[in-house]
Chains A and B, each alone.
Chain A
C-alpha cells in the first residue's frame, strides 16, 4: 500500500450545485467608504436574475479599528459545531474579540444558522513551529474547520473585510444582517438562482478565502477537471460550487504561484490557439506555456465573475462571453455589473461605459486606501 498525500475527488458523491446569478460590484478608487444604500439598490434591481435562494455581500474596509487582525465570519448549523470549531480556533489563534454577528429575526429567512465573528491572529508560538507565513497558516485552519467540523463554515477570513450571505433575496440578507450599519470602500454583491432547490446557506456567494472574494454567474463544464487539479494542489472543495473552484484558483495562482493578475485572466479564459500562434515569439511562448501548464484551470463554459481583494476589483467573463458583464466609471467609482441598467439606476450619468469582450479583464485598483494623491488606475487589459 502507499500513503495517499492528497484527497482527489474520485467517485460517487462529488456532486455540484448549478446556479445562475446577478453580480454587482462597486469600488471607490480613492478608498472612501460608503454605505449599503447604492449597491443594495443596484443588486435588488436585477431581481429577475435571482430566485430568492441565495444572496450575499463581500464588504471591504468594514473593520478599520481592527484592520490588522484576521476577521473570521463563521456560520454554524448548530451549537455543537460552534463548540468544536471554537476549540480549534482557541488552540491555534489568539482571539482578541469574539462576538455574535447581529442578525434580525425574520419570517422571510426561516431557520438561519448561527453567525459569529472573531478577530484574531495566529498563535505566535504555533506559527513559529510551522515555518509558514500567517496567510498559509490561516488557510490551513479555515480548510480544517470547513472540511473537518461538520456544520461549521468559516465564510470569510480576510482582514478588515467580511462576507454576509444566506438564503434569500439580497435585500432580505442585507436586512437580516443590518448591513445599513456597515460602511466599506468596496462592495461585491450577488443574487443567486440555483437550479437545484433548495439552496443552502453555505452555497450562497460571494465565496471567500483570506481577503479574496469571488461572486460568480455561470456554470462550468470544466468543473470536474478544475476541481481535480485543485485537489492535486492540496485544496479540498467542500461547497460543491463552481465559485469555490474559482476562489481556490485565484488563491493558488495569485498567492501561491505569484502569477501576475492579468495573466490569471489568461489562464481562466485563455486566447485561442489561433491567436496565440500569430503572436510574436516571446508572447507566443508565454501564452503557450500558460495553456500547457495551467490548462486544467481553464474555466470552460459560461461565466462572469467579480473577484475582489483589498484595493482591487476585477471583472472577467469566459472567452466566448456567454454571460453578461458591463463596467461603468463615474468620478472615483468603478461599477461592474451583470446588467448596465443596474449601474444606470444608481449612476445615470456615467463618465464611461465599458463592455468588455470575452476573456477581457476589467481591473479597478487603488494604490493605497484613503490616499487621495494616488491617481486611480483603471485599465482594460489587452494582451
Chain B
C-alpha cells in the first residue's frame, strides 16, 4: 500500500561541508542515509527519520540539520497533525499504534505551577557549603511508636524496626527491564546506584548474573509475567517491588516481541529464546486486595522477612483509596507512577489518555494516608516525569518520601526522547538489545553521566532546602507550607493542599 503519510522530519545536508565520511550512514539505525556512488553524494530518506539526532551529533563537520517538515495539513484547531497522521497510519496498518517514553500531550504539568519558599529575615537560610544539609532517606515500614526500656540512667530501644532501604539521596532509578533496555544500561544504572548510595530497580525482566554483585543497591521487580523470578532472584535484591501497573500504560500488560528476546535475555527471563514475552494485564493470582496481601506475604515468607516489599501502581482516579488498601495489605513502600511515566512500548492511545498527573496523585494519597493515621508507617515513592531537582523537591513537599527517575537517567546517557523505543533500533544503544547497536552505550561513560546528574541534583536539592531554612529532608516531607500555587484554580489548589502565591 502506498503511504499517504507525510515525512515528519526533513534531513538537510550541507553538501559543501559533507566529506562523504559515511559516519551518518553507519550511525543511523533507521536507514535514513545512503551513499549514491554515481553522484558521489550522501542522500537521505527523510520519511524514515525519527529525529533521534544521532547523525547530527556524530557528523564531524556539522553538515546535517534535521527539521520539522514544513509541509503540513491545512491548519485546523481540532484536527491537528497528530490526529490526521495517526489515522492515516492506522488506515495503512490496521493495528493499535505503539509508542515509547511518556505521554507527550499538553496536559497541565503542575510542577510548573508550584513555587517554593525561601527564608527572609525571620529565620536564616542555611548555606549548604558551610553547614551540613542532610538528604538521607529511609524507605520502608515504620512503627507508630518507639518503646524504650529505662534502667539506671541507661536507655535501651525495645522496638524492632523492620528491614528498610537507606538511600543517600531521595532519587532512585526507576524500573526498566532487561529486554526493554540492554545489559549495558542495566550495568550503568547499577553502578551509578552503588556510587550514589541509592537503588536501581531492575524491572520485570529478571537480573543478569553479572549484576548480582551490585545486589545491595538493586530492587528486584515481580510483575505479572513473573519473568526471571526464583528464590535466588528474590533474595538478590535489597527490596522487592510488586509491579501492578505502570504510569505509561495503566491496566495494560507488556509485550516484548520475540525478535528482542535474544539467548541471554531468554535465559534471564527464563523463557525460550525468540518467543514473545507477554506480561498479562493483571497478575492472574491477584484479582483483589486480599490476593495482593497474599503475594506480599508470600514474598516476605520466601525472603524470611529480611526485605521491604514495595507495590507499584499507576496513578489512577482512585489512587488514594487503593494506596490505603495497599498499606493495609502489608506493603512497606507504595510507588505511584503518574501519567507522564515512560515505557519501552505501549499503545499510544493508552499512554496518552489513561492515568492522572503524579502531582495530584501524591497530594491525594498523602492526604488520605494521613487522615487514616497511617502515613508514617509506609513510604511513598513518586515517579513519572520528574525532570529536574525542583520537581524532586516539590514532590517531597507534596508528600512523597522519594522519587524514581527513569527518563531523566536515560537522557543523561544519551536518549533524545524520539519515542521510538518500541522499534528496538534505538540509535543511542539504550532501548535496543541488538548486540551491535548496544555496544554504542559504553557503561563506563553512561554510569559517569548518571552519577554526575544525581550529584548535581543533590547539590541543587540542598540549595533549595537551605534556602527554606531546613537542614534535613525529613522536614520537607509533606510540608506543603513551603509550596505556593500560581495560575491554578481554587479546586486544584485544594486537591494539592497548597495555598495560592500571595496568601
Contacts and interface: CB of A to CB of B under 8 A. Distances in A.
A associates with B: yes
B494 A11 contact: yes
B499 A12 contact: yes
A227 to B, nearest CB: 8
B503 A5 contact: no
B494 A292 contact: no
Nearest to B320: A2
Interface in A186-206: 195
The list of the 10 closest CB pairs from A to B, nearest first, reads A224-B481, A295-B474, A300-B475, A222-B475, A224-B479, A221-B469, A225-B479, A219-B123, A286-B157, A10-B497
B205 to A, nearest CB: 32
Interface string B106-119: 00000000000001
B325 to A, nearest CB: 11
Given A219-B122, A260-B148, A320-B126, A12 B472 contact: no
Main secondary structure of the interface of B (DSSP, over half): loop
B161 A257 contact: no
A290 B138 CA distance: 12
Nearest to A231: B370
15 contacts: A4-B371, A5-B372, A195-B122, A219-B122, A222-B475, A224-B480, A228-B479, A260-B148, A262-B155, A289-B161, A292-B138, A293-B376, A295-B475, A295-B477, A302-B123
A319 to B, nearest CB: 8
B145 interface: yes
B463 interface: no
B156 interface: yes
A257 B469 contact: no
Nearest to B467: A221
Interface string B357-381: 0000000000100111101100000
Nearest to B131: A320
A243 to B, nearest CB: 14
B143 interface: yes
Interface residues of B, number: 53
A256 to B, nearest CB: 8
A274 B136 CA distance: 11
Interface string A212-233: 0000001101111100110111
B124 A302 contact: yes
Main secondary structure of the interface of A (DSSP, over half): loop
Contacts of B32: none
Interface string A284-320: 0110111111111010111000000000000000011
B434 interface: no
Contacts, number: 148
Contacts of B321: 2
Nearest to A323: B123
A285 B161 CA distance: 9
A228 B371 CA distance: 10
B328 to A, nearest CB: 12
B471 A300 contact: yes
B469 A300 contact: yes
A219 B122 CA distance: 7
A263 B375 contact: no
Contacts of A260: 148, 150, 155
A257 B145 CA distance: 7
B269 interface: no
B415 interface: no
Nearest to B136: A273
A320 B469 CA distance: 11
Interface in B366-402: 367, 370-373, 375-376
A272 B472 CA distance: 9
B476 interface: yes
Nearest to B481: A224
B468 interface: yes
B132 A274 contact: yes
A293 B370 contact: no
A21 B262 CA distance: 70
Given A2-B321, A274-B132, A8 B474 contact: no
A253 B487 CA distance: 40
A6 B373 CA distance: 7
A282 interface: yes
Given A221-B469, A298-B474, A300-B469, A11 B122 contact: no
B134 interface: yes
A6 B478 contact: no
Interface residues of A, number: 56
B146 interface: yes
Between A260, A289, A300, A302, the greatest number of chain B beta carbons within 10 A of the residue's beta carbon is seen for A300
Contacts of B345: none
A20 interface: yes
B493 interface: yes
B159 interface: yes
A137 interface: no
Given A12-B493, A219-B123, A322-B123, A263 B370 contact: no
A18 interface: yes
Contacts of B476: 225
B371 to A, nearest CB: 5
B142 interface: yes
B296 interface: no
A20 B121 CA distance: 11
B131 A5 contact: no
B146 A257 contact: yes
Nearest to B159: A289
Contacts of A11: 493-494, 497-499
A323 to B, nearest CB: 9
Contacts of B28: none
A175 to B, nearest CB: 29
Given A6-B370, A225-B478, A289-B157, A298 B472 contact: yes
Interface string A1-34: 0101111101110111010100000000000000
Contacts of B136: 273
A221 B497 contact: no
B146 A225 contact: no
Contacts of B472: 270, 295, 298, 300
A259 interface: yes
A225 B134 contact: no
A6 B500 CA distance: 24
Contacts of B446: none
Between A6, A273, A293, A319, the greatest number of chain B beta carbons within 10 A of the residue's beta carbon is seen for A293
A320 B471 contact: yes
B123 to A, nearest CB: 4
Nearest to B482: A224
Contact of A225 (B157, B469, B477, B503): B477
A222 B473 CA distance: 10
A8 B123 contact: no
A276 to B, nearest CB: 10
Contacts of A233: 373
Interface string A111-130: 00000000000000000000
A320 to B, nearest CB: 7
Given A228-B370, A228-B478, A232-B375, A259 B146 contact: yes
A301 B126 CA distance: 9
A232 B142 CA distance: 15
B410 interface: no
A282 B367 CA distance: 35
B313 interface: no
Interface in B62-117: none
A252 to B, nearest CB: 10
Contacts of B499: 11-12
Contacts of B373: 5-6, 232-233
B471 A20 contact: no
